[in-house]
Structure 1
Amino acid sequence: MSNSERIEQLLASMTLEEKVSILSGEDFWSVPAVDRLGIGKLRVTDGPNGARGGGSLVGGVKSASFPVGIALGSTWNVALLEEIGAALAEEVKSKNAHMLLAPTVNIHRSVTNGRNFECYSEDPFLTAELAVGYIKGLQDRGIGATIKHFVGNESEIERTTISSEIDERALREIYLLPFEAAVKKAGTWGVMSSYNRLNGTFTSEHNWLLGTVLRDEWGYDGIVMSDWFGSHSTAETVIAGLDLEMPGPTRDRGQKLVDAVKAGTVNQDILDRRVLAMLRLMDRVGSLDDHRPHAERADDRPETRALIRRAGAEAAVLLKNEGVLPLAGTGTIAVIGPNAKTAQIMGGGSAQLNAHYRISPWQGLVSAVGENRLRYAPGCTNDRFQPVLRGPFDAEYFDNETLSGTPVYVGTQEDAQTFWIGRVAEGKVDPLHFSVRLTGHFKPEHSGAHNLGIYAAGFAKAYVDGKLIADAWTNWSKGRTFFEEGCDEVVGSVMLEAGRAHEVVIEFATKDFSTLGLAALACGIGYPLGDAAIAEAVGAASGAEVAILFVGRNGEWDTEGSDLQSITLPGRQDELVAAVAKANPRTIVVLQTGGPVEMPWIGSVAAVLEAWYPGQEAGNAIADVLTGAAEPSGRLPQTFPVRWSDNPAHSQDREVYPGLEGKVRYEEGIFVGYRHYDKLGLTPLYPFGFGLGYTQFALSDLVVDDSDFESDGVVNVAVRLTNTGAREGSSVVQLYVSDAEASAPRPAKELKAFAKIKLEAGASTTVSLALDARSFAFFDTHAKVWLVEAGAFTIHVGLCSTDLPLQQQITRKSALTLPL
């Protein structure tokens, strides 16, 4: 019996209730088995920069932490993305799961989107090519990809309810393109609908999006699952094309769907299509016959460590270098900044996981050059919240929301940060209706005033030595934490004595949620750094051969559920950079951010390296680049503007961004990223595709073969790339297309091909780049076709979007229409 015959037979054998059961989750991470028919349980796990497994968003079984999306976007290396996808497949298997909730391919519309770190690029073509590699790597090893979020989730503000108002041309050319490539080129097995509405309708029940475009036009035969709690109806979602409601227990299906089918509201044929898609998926990922007990492993593989380190180094983008990198000499190195001894390896939200380990830049440099050469000063802090209190904490759980009576469960907790989802207190309490008291101790390093902060998706209070210090209970109001389900941090001041173990008691109770059914808490204590800390950093820098500043943001700022309010460095970091650079002209700035930042000090520093969040090997990867053990071969996947106001989403009209009265209007249309800067003639701080290395490259001998351009729109391009420097290195050859004679507004140029090439010093190679007809087309919204018009097109080839020295014009005599 063939696989398809077996699936059809299973479908015919299932009762209505059994069919409905596999169209929604059983719990937070799985779809129920159908024991009577031998259908196993399907399990999913969060990605995209690792496989967390079935635990909470904090803690749980340890996992490998890979570079985040924007870092992978910076590699411009499709083969590397496929390699990473393959490694992630093994990670998913170690968590006994069958699907990874990844990759994330939303577009960098705004420089302030809190989830930019998780996405690849501002450019849809670069995003699409990288996503295809990632998906192939996963699925070639039997693990299903779940490309997300389909579509229009380019901001975290009111994301579960807001309507993204996007015209069809912008949708087709920018926002849908990575998903189209994932379906047509990679054959993705899963698509996740976004939380938001698209032009007024929730994407999880959008007939045009899920039916007309995804299935009818693109021929998609995988499943569409909701984002967690992103389903809002029963019949509407099933009819539109949402196969799987997540998580469980179901809110919109189950008996409601059984009743809808019996009443004729949902046609039996439509239901069977949804069930057939689920069975097909289960067959593809092997869960149909997977009856193993659920068990998770922490596989810390040497080959995975090496891959993460290599990828982290390749992602680093060298933005400026006035002869100070790679590091040379034997003198003292001042290591300064809030990210120097803290390993910033990932962003926040559902992408976070419990990494096997975290290598800080300090640790990486100690291994690379020896601790005797290093001098450390923190300079300032960059925390959004007070540093999380580390435990252990005794935890008393109550099966009520008033902390009353005898605890029904007593346990321990590692620290004062947790998500309570799924099974809480070994099932002794309702996960959405309970209270808990945490008791622990904090021993400060300094005497004096400390800040205690607390925030929660729920009600919370924090006491020190019996005194209430921070109250996020009495006047709780919704803020920008915990996916917009939590309050903003409430901060109180408390005098503490160095070396004394002060008792800390935290009380928490659940509350009604808006959209996402979760309970969460974070509490921290911090010691403020002032002028003396900056003075100490200046002192360390002034006596050093070179000063390296590790500054930027962290996963508290770059996080799901909260956009940034500016792109200036948090806290006093700009002041710190300026002061250190004044004391030592050989100052190197290493940025770790999830996107662009403003750099008012750029003229006074000798070098700038953007290292992003490169995963658990962060410090080693950064040290490899700084010392020259690895080449900084990253290229910017997002334009760095001079200031936030230069960005295409910045507007005085709040409906354009951040949104107004439930709508966010994509007024700029197709003019996103570098297309916007070209249109307005704005000079960015650093352009799309830019990046320096430790060697130099030259392009020559452009050859364009347009012999098939008139007949089928195909053009083949060849160009000579030469490493003119003194050491091996990599470069990215980039090809852009212009259509100056178009009947519709078109960008000045658009990326349509690229290739990353490594060459020995003095070596040359011919780089071939192929263009298909879509490379020259725009979407005609009236005729509903992709249109290549008659007339002249210009091919530009270079090493970044503003460095395109080679050009050639080609011409078509007739128009060409392409199918959807």
Structure 2
Amino acid sequence: MGRIEELVDRMTLEEQVSLLSGEDFWSLPAIDRLGIGKLRVTDGPNGARGGGSLIGGVKSAAFPVGIALGASWNVRLLTEIGTALAEEVKSKGAHVSLAPTVNLHRSVSNGRNFECYSEDPILTASLAVGYIEGLQGQGVSATIKHFAGNESEIERTTISSEIDERTLRELYLVPFEWAVKRAGTWGIMSSYNKLNGTFTSENPWLLDQVLRKEWHYDGVVMSDWFGSHSTAPTVNAGLDLEMPGPPRDRGEKLVAAVEAGEVSRETLRARVLDVLRLMERTGALDDHSEWAERADDRAEHRALIRRAGAEGAVLLKNAGELLPLSGSGKLAVIGPNARVAQIMGGGSAQLNPHYRVSPWDGLVAALGEDHLSYAAGATNHRFEPLLRGGFTAEYFANETLSGAPVFTETLEEAQAFWIGRVGGGKVDPLHFSARLTGRFTPEASGEHRVGIYSAGFSRVLVDGKLVADAWTHWSKGRTFFEEGCDEVVGTINLEAGHSYDVVIEFAAKPFATLGLAAFAAGIGLPLGDAAIAAAVEAAREAEVALVFVGRNGEWDTEGSDLDSITLPGRQDELIAAVAAVNARTAVVLQTGGPVEMPWLGEVAAVLEAWYPGQEAGNAIADVLTGAAEPGGRLPQSFPVKWADNPTNSQDREIYPGLDGKVRYEEGVFIGYRHYDRHGIAPLFPFGFGLGYTNFAVSDLELDASGFEADGEVSVSVTVENTGRRAGSEVVQVYVSAPDATVARPAKELKAFEKVRLGPGERQRLTLALDDRAFAYYRTEAQHWLVEPGRYVIRVARHAADVGMTAEVVRRDRLLLPV
């Protein structure tokens, strides 16, 4: 009998139960009597936030977001990043990272696409394996999420994702399966949603049949935060850990369920052993240290983030080889993202970075400010610009702002995310009110917009006048993980240089699913025609116009899908106006997914830079100046328009969902598979990306000697850099089954490899295709099947590339177990 078996058998029932739910928001309770330490977790996946709120807290390194890493197509890079993030997790006193996120890009408008790697299961799974191996190689547990069917953010805590089993097996479960079977992940997080009518946190088919019986998983399954909905059903189905604490569904309720026979002692013991095994693997079992967090700003992490940002940047267009920039002429630096560092998306992935480098900062460092001019041109914010400066916050131990405040503190900005300990611990975090007072001095005169949104009741008064009221008629919207209202905006005329009193009042209200209280308030003065005119003038006088546009973490965020994929505000108009006076215009996009580009034919170059972390501006400047290669390839197809994407339908149950259901009617035909099936040409295909050098891929050879016996084929090609500078190429291998007896995609990515070569350098690559690369899932027979017939193997540079093809043929069926 091992150590953890001895420990579980020495525990009382109450002690066993205590390890199956959080003690607080980020940790499990220690059991001092048995010398069992405290397991601590921290949010990911593009950093380690630690135990602080979503706002503020100890500073952390901000790495590129998931889609930026997906665009790298570099498994080795993901391993490096996983290793570095393990060091970040340790700096926050934690043992477990709540990462990576591996849900697929089913639609182009999912608010959380930025956090996920790709529309393709093999690309996603491969990168996830690299990330997990890097993380767990340093003794920090991964928690791969969200298991499963969480591909949109609309009503995500209650909606049922209706997905047939073949689609689940061939697409959405693949990254989780690889994480278990190939990377040996120690943690998995269940999703909020239901899967085919049953919450995933209590779904026996998902957590017991597939995960434990078929994949032989021996790690922990934890709920997403507040994602548990019952006591005995979750434990019996296979959910080890309810998070966060204090428990809602476990604790005394679980003790009673065991005593009543609703949960067997054997099942309880298995759940506790899973938790103890995780603690043993991560060292938490013997960790009796005080929880201490530090801001660990490492030079090697800075360098890695900068390199990864450039490697994920995708060059979509480069007419006349405008990029990399050459010469010493004047550059016009234009756009809402030029002087604002858009480094990450919103939601639980956000953190307090060590610093933020904007594109303007990066260009100044690379070229000097004398060569640059600047014009904002337009805005792209979803909410009014956040009010900053000192605000005195008074807290009341009631919801009516009555009596004397019980705690007072200073907030640096007019936003708060209250959860757990609030008001110095002197108020109930779900039953309190607060009043913030501060001042605002506008830089220009005019009619200003005052906005506020909140999970709770709120309002803004300027010089005693109620301007924005999210209190009187509060209604649920799409902020703060769908616990908040949409922004309420009022207007008021303000004079430049005059100082105004600003009062923000807040009161907690009953929550729907997530027990939190939050608000954000801002004041802004809209930009008009004059701003675009100033940008046009700057572009007219410059040799090259660089236009930095896109979205930000207000748009690309957990808890809210996008209404469209057009650029917010007047950004399209800005680009067209600039391009009309300067043919040498380069557009730098920062988004969490595709956008429509009505101006594409009018500009010379387009670079998609995503949200590349705290080194954003330096990484972007490296690519623009040629100090680094744009190493990215698209991990998601970019459609010409939103209506071309796989979830476009007149049936709202297909997307965004209707009457509590979202039906995955398209089945296995998402992403490039959808565009192939319907003959729709994307704006830019999956896997596409340009570089600053040229490559030739030749001499395709197959070794199919074992194909009939074991279903395996090896694919060999020669890659040569025929250009004048070093660069990288991604060799992509797609498989087609033209003789299939069931509907299968025209092609499916089954292997890839990224290779970096110097000028004139050649390399022979061999990529392996296993039996699953040729199989589809037979639901009625509950197995994978490689059918007899022809299989076409295509080596290409992207999904729309003709590439090189060869065929292999099977005579007999090959059955594969689950």
TM-score where L is the length of structure 1 = 0.99
Residue equivalent to 2:235 = 238
Residue equivalent to 1:316 = 313
**Inter-partner Cα distance in structure 2 for 1:608 and 1:400:** 54
Residue equivalent to 1:178 = 175
Question: Is 1:247 the counterpart of 2:247 in the alignment?
Answer: no
- One-letter amino acid matched to 2:111: G
State the Cα distance separating 1:325 from its structure 2 match.
0.2
State the Cα distance separating 1:692 from its structure 2 match.
0.1
- One-letter amino acid matched to 2:519: L
5 Å matches for 1:627-706? 627-706=625-704
- One-letter amino acid matched to 1:180: E
Question: Is 1:159 the counterpart of 2:156 in the alignment?
Answer: yes
5 Å matches for 1:509-548? 509-548=507-546
State the Cα distance separating 1:499 from its structure 2 match.
2.1
Residue equivalent to 2:187 = 190
5 Å matches for 1:113-124? 113-124=110-121
Question: Is 1:287 the counterpart of 2:277 in the alignment?
Answer: no
Residue equivalent to 1:470 = 468
Residue equivalent to 1:133 = 130
Q: What is the aligned counterpart of 1:805 among 793, 796, 803?
A: 803
**Inter-partner Cα distance in structure 2 for 1:442 and 1:62:** 27
Q: What is the aligned counterpart of 2:342 among 344, 354, 357?
A: 344
**Cα shift readout 1:524-581 (whole Å, capped 9, x = no counterpart):** 0111100000000000001100000000000000000000000000000000000000
Residue equivalent to 1:109 = 106
Question: Is 1:24 the counterpart of 2:21 in the alignment?
Answer: yes
- One-letter amino acid matched to 2:308: A
SS of equivalent to 2:142: strand
- One-letter amino acid matched to 1:34: I
SS of equivalent to 1:682: coil
- One-letter amino acid matched to 2:52: G
State the Cα distance separating 1:448 from its structure 2 match.
1.6
SS of equivalent to 2:286: coil
Q: C-alpha root-mean-square deviation of aligned residues, in Å?
A: 0.6
State the Cα distance separating 1:391 from its structure 2 match.
2.0
SS of equivalent to 2:502: strand
**Inter-partner Cα distance in structure 2 for 1:498 and 1:366:** 30
5 Å matches for 1:325-404? 325-404=323-402
Residue equivalent to 2:38 = 41
**Inter-partner Cα distance in structure 2 for 1:805 and 1:18:** 61
Q: What is the aligned counterpart of 1:84 among 71, 76, 81?
A: 81
**Inter-partner Cα distance in structure 1 for 2:430 and 2:385:** 27
SS of equivalent to 1:574: helix
State the Cα distance separating 1:5 from its structure 2 match.
1.0
Question: Is 1:263 the counterpart of 2:260 in the alignment?
Answer: yes
- One-letter amino acid matched to 2:206: L
Count residues in correspondence: 817
**Inter-partner Cα distance in structure 2 for 1:774 and 1:266:** 38
**Inter-partner Cα distance in structure 1 for 2:484 and 2:796:** 47
State the Cα distance separating 1:717 from its structure 2 match.
0.9
State the Cα distance separating 1:303 from its structure 2 match.
0.2
- One-letter amino acid matched to 1:594: G
Residue equivalent to 2:738 = 740
**Inter-partner Cα distance in structure 1 for 2:386 and 2:22:** 32
5 Å matches for 1:545-694? 545-694=543-692
State the Cα distance separating 1:449 from its structure 2 match.
1.3
**Cα shift readout 1:236-255 (whole Å, capped 9, x = no counterpart):** 00000000000111000000
TM-score where L is the length of structure 2 = 1.00
**Cα shift readout 1:147-180 (whole Å, capped 9, x = no counterpart):** 0000000000000000000000000000000000
**Inter-partner Cα distance in structure 2 for 1:504 and 1:292:** 44
SS of equivalent to 1:591: strand
SS of equivalent to 2:143: strand
SS of equivalent to 2:40: strand
State the Cα distance separating 1:697 from its structure 2 match.
0.7
- One-letter amino acid matched to 1:699: V
**Inter-partner Cα distance in structure 2 for 1:502 and 1:456:** 23
- One-letter amino acid matched to 2:299: P
Residue equivalent to 1:431 = 429
Question: Is 1:444 the counterpart of 2:442 in the alignment?
Answer: yes
- One-letter amino acid matched to 2:560: S
**Inter-partner Cα distance in structure 1 for 2:127 and 2:624:** 26
Residue equivalent to 1:489 = 487
**Inter-partner Cα distance in structure 2 for 1:170 and 1:414:** 48
- One-letter amino acid matched to 1:704: L
SS of equivalent to 1:480: coil
**Inter-partner Cα distance in structure 2 for 1:169 and 1:378:** 49
Unaligned runs of 5+ in 2: none
SS of equivalent to 1:479: coil
**Inter-partner Cα distance in structure 1 for 2:775 and 2:707:** 12
SS of equivalent to 1:117: helix
**Inter-partner Cα distance in structure 1 for 2:278 and 2:763:** 43
**Cα shift readout 1:350-369 (whole Å, capped 9, x = no counterpart):** 00000000000000000011
**Inter-partner Cα distance in structure 2 for 1:547 and 1:459:** 45
State the Cα distance separating 1:442 from its structure 2 match.
1.3
State the Cα distance separating 1:396 from its structure 2 match.
0.5
Q: What is the aligned counterpart of 1:93 among 74, 90, 103?
A: 90
- One-letter amino acid matched to 1:230: G
Which runs of structure 1 show a deviation greater than 2 angstroms over 4 or more consecutive aligned residues? Answer: none
**Inter-partner Cα distance in structure 1 for 2:350 and 2:49:** 8
Residue equivalent to 1:298 = 295
What fraction of aligned residue pairs are identical, expressed as a percent? 73
State the Cα distance separating 1:804 from its structure 2 match.
3.5
**Inter-partner Cα distance in structure 2 for 1:570 and 1:118:** 20
**Inter-partner Cα distance in structure 2 for 1:360 and 1:345:** 9
Question: Is 1:278 the counterpart of 2:302 in the alignment?
Answer: no
Question: Is 1:754 the counterpart of 2:752 in the alignment?
Answer: yes
State the Cα distance separating 1:714 from its structure 2 match.
1.0
SS of equivalent to 1:487: coil
Question: Is 1:208 the counterpart of 2:205 in the alignment?
Answer: yes
Q: What is the aligned counterpart of 1:60 among 54, 57, 61?
A: 57
**Inter-partner Cα distance in structure 1 for 2:374 and 2:636:** 32
**Inter-partner Cα distance in structure 2 for 1:5 and 1:765:** 49
State the Cα distance separating 1:13 from its structure 2 match.
0.5
**Inter-partner Cα distance in structure 2 for 1:712 and 1:39:** 47
State the Cα distance separating 1:763 from its structure 2 match.
1.3
